[in-house]
Chains A and B, each alone.
Chain A
């Protein structure tokens, strides 16, 4: 609650409008590209460049304001609420794709295989189809042809260990920050970034294995659709998280943050733990069971 009249309300800012124009340009470019217009990729690139420029500029402004001591506890609290609810919105975004996965496994595929109300569908439309998850999960039309599914106990299990470890190193860094052990903070963050990068590398290797050896891609029916959509969006989030950690690492080396004032660190840490938890869901429901 407001204790004093000193809440920081910034004067006009040019960043939001740059953000809007950048995102809009990227979307128009992307749409044109999807519609088969080659100019689209240049428009898309310009838009994305504007977005990157905006992100760097906007965050620089906020970081310098923070370092200048313009933010009191109440502003800090606004940021915290903002980040918490942003992460909640991300949870719901992933929920849509997990929901799709559960729906097809619980309803669509069994119905296509003749269970429940799907008896007539199976008998008259897809008489040969038998529902065996995941091996027949490219549907009765066998969309994408023969494919093999991704096992859980090779790279995915290793990646699980890597992400869980990165959560530990990040927490270690957080404790160091609170106790003002700068060197331990930097080492902890650097380890976390490195683990994130290794995770991404292994994901890339796994995708290569899927494409080249398993004939598994986004077009491999609903198995390929859910597999690549979930792991792809998760990988994208890990990439963003790693970039955010890098920024925090840079700021830590530069001497930012103190035991009382380090919202940015905590926000990134929350985000990283969120990405971590999503991975656990992925490992269990996409790779394992």
Chain B
């Protein structure tokens, strides 16, 4: 049972399936998280293609409206909780102990538990597709009273969310404990790579808001099964209260989905611009400011529910304030590239794509923040366009950038560069083809979450659907490329990239099973 990291013969690990089920190694667990996210990415993607197939033409073609609504609901739950969050947790597992010069995560057994909850929680969630009454169809936001009309799926949905929340909280606690306690001597907080910083702040957000979501869905559960009146006006409650509780979780949640991306981009841009990151400390403070602001802006998701005017104004201005630290970040990335000796390998392409397209999503977010304007945009495809711009060419592109950036380190092999570039350009072309037209149909008034639409929206919807299929198939290149790189390829050097700096590039490619048995010396 016992082992001490400094004993070199413990570098061996058990083989077969039990290695993966019982592992306490941060790299194994990171790999599991990343593969889980990849599988869920294709499942969630298939759901998106069902939606886009139905919307290819006006009228009802392929699926009935109930199932269509299940698809929008499940697509969101899968992509948020099953793809972006575990992918970033996987990256955190792989990279944080290495980046801070630690031997492993602080709490290795709990780390294993955090991961293994995920496949079980998602099996529960996906199994609802075959239940009486169908899968949840009231939207991922679970607003009552609509969500309370879910059939047999309802308790499974609630418990699956509890389960995922448990996983996220434990994962976050582990990351905080690791960053605060496992740094090599000399690795002061302000020397940490930004990926570590952004994850420290993200983990804090997770610990603060996942329990609030747990409380909110527990109230839904008791309202449905135990006669409570939290969201029932006849009993003195208020359905809008759920929206407040949900978005108190939900708004920090969207920063949970994007802050680690900022960390990834802040690692990649300096590497390929061959210049140190511009304004390191302002990046740290900007991240912390965004995290703080994320707690006081939640009701901008609810401008049309009939809040008092003071609330509308407060949440409008607080929301617009977020543009300041976000602008600092974009400015710093651009300034890092300024007069740099730039090269454009695939990770850099994805990172630059991130900056451009995330900024587009940021600007449409600013439009949505303006309360009077939001009354027009609310619940239209403009909102869909906005959050897909920050999540797909935002979070997902950052995850892909990170995969290309660190894949040679993880596997010891270089990925095929040309194929990676083809993947980037196809993804970028099709992601814009899918989501840019949604701005137009949204501004013209096409509502979200409806399987049919007015004839005037037909052309743009057809273009969006073509884009979605193109984007979906382009991702098969990504899958193929990763498998090919794991199996072989030209050997990667330890440093991998010419301009790469940081502890992860001082280890061999692939790194030893236990990262730093003796703490590295920090300059």
Contact across chains for B177 and A78 when beta carbons are under 8 A apart: yes
What is the CB-to-nearest-CB distance from B507 to chain A, in angstroms, rounded to a whole number?
15
Per the bound structure, the CA–CA distance linking A245 and B456 in Å amounts to 68
Using a Cβ cutoff of 8 Å, how many contacts connect chains A and B?
270
Contact across chains for A34 and B155 when beta carbons are under 8 A apart: yes
How large, as a class, is the contact surface on chain A? 35 or more
- A50 interface hit (Cβ, 8 Å): no
- A112 interface hit (Cβ, 8 Å): yes
Per a CB cutoff under 8 Å, which of B207, B226, B236 touches A138? B236
What is the CB-to-nearest-CB distance from A17 to chain B, in angstroms, rounded to a whole number?
5
What is the CB-to-nearest-CB distance from A173 to chain B, in angstroms, rounded to a whole number?
27
Contact across chains for B120 and A21 when beta carbons are under 8 A apart: yes
- A23 interface hit (Cβ, 8 Å): yes
Contacts A17-B116, A112-B233, A139-B237 given; indicate if A74 touches B226 (C-beta within 8 A): no
Contact across chains for B222 and A107 when beta carbons are under 8 A apart: no
Contact across chains for A6 and B18 when beta carbons are under 8 A apart: no
Contact with B along A95-134 (1 / 0, CB 8 A): 1110110011001110110001100000000000000000
Please, which residues of chain A bring their CB within 8 A of the CB of B24?
Answer: 9-13
Contacts A13-B24, A16-B112, A17-B116 given; indicate if A92 touches B209 (C-beta within 8 A): yes
How large, as a class, is the contact surface on chain B? 35 or more
With CB as the reference atom, state the residue of chain A lying closest to B206: A89
Interface hits, B233-288 → A, CB 8 Å: 233-238, 241, 244-245, 248
Contact across chains for B233 and A1 when beta carbons are under 8 A apart: no
Contact across chains for A16 and B116 when beta carbons are under 8 A apart: yes
With CB as the reference atom, state the residue of chain B lying closest to A15: B109
With CB as the reference atom, state the residue of chain A lying closest to B112: A16
Contact across chains for A229 and B219 when beta carbons are under 8 A apart: yes
Per a CB cutoff under 8 Å, which of A1, A9, A34, A108 touches B237? A108
Contacts A27-B159, A108-B236 given; indicate if A78 touches B107 (C-beta within 8 A): yes
Contact across chains for A8 and B4 when beta carbons are under 8 A apart: yes
Q: Tell me which of A30, A85, A100 has the highest count of chain B C-beta atoms within 10 A of its own C-beta.
A: A85
Contacts A34-B155, A108-B238 given; indicate if A28 touches B124 (C-beta within 8 A): yes
- B212 interface hit (Cβ, 8 Å): yes
- B216 interface hit (Cβ, 8 Å): yes
Per the bound structure, the CA–CA distance linking A104 and B154 in Å amounts to 25
Contact across chains for B208 and A88 when beta carbons are under 8 A apart: yes
Contact across chains for B245 and A99 when beta carbons are under 8 A apart: yes
- A93 interface hit (Cβ, 8 Å): yes
Please, which residues of chain A bring their CB within 8 A of the CB of B508?
Answer: none
- A19 interface hit (Cβ, 8 Å): yes
Query: Contacting chain A: which of B96-104, B358-366, B463-471?
Result: B96-104
Contact across chains for B229 and A221 when beta carbons are under 8 A apart: yes
Contact across chains for A20 and B120 when beta carbons are under 8 A apart: yes
Contact across chains for A81 and B106 when beta carbons are under 8 A apart: yes
- A213 interface hit (Cβ, 8 Å): no
Per the bound structure, the CA–CA distance linking A52 and B14 in Å amounts to 27
Per a CB cutoff under 8 Å, which of B112, B113, B235, B518 touches A225? B235
With CB as the reference atom, state the residue of chain A lying closest to B517: A5
Contact across chains for B182 and A7 when beta carbons are under 8 A apart: yes
Contact across chains for A93 and B215 when beta carbons are under 8 A apart: yes
Per a CB cutoff under 8 Å, which of B14, B110, B209, B306 touches A117? B306
The interface of chain A, by Cβ under 8 A from chain B, is: 1-17, 19-21, 23-24, 27-28, 30-31, 34-35, 58, 61, 65, 68, 70, 74, 77-79, 81-82, 85-86, 88-90, 92-97, 99-100, 103-104, 107-109, 111-112, 116-117, 136-141, 143-144, 217-219, 221-226, 228-229
> Closest 8 A-B residue pairs measured CB to CB?
A96-B215, A141-B234, A12-B22, A139-B236, A222-B236, A219-B227, A16-B113, A225-B228
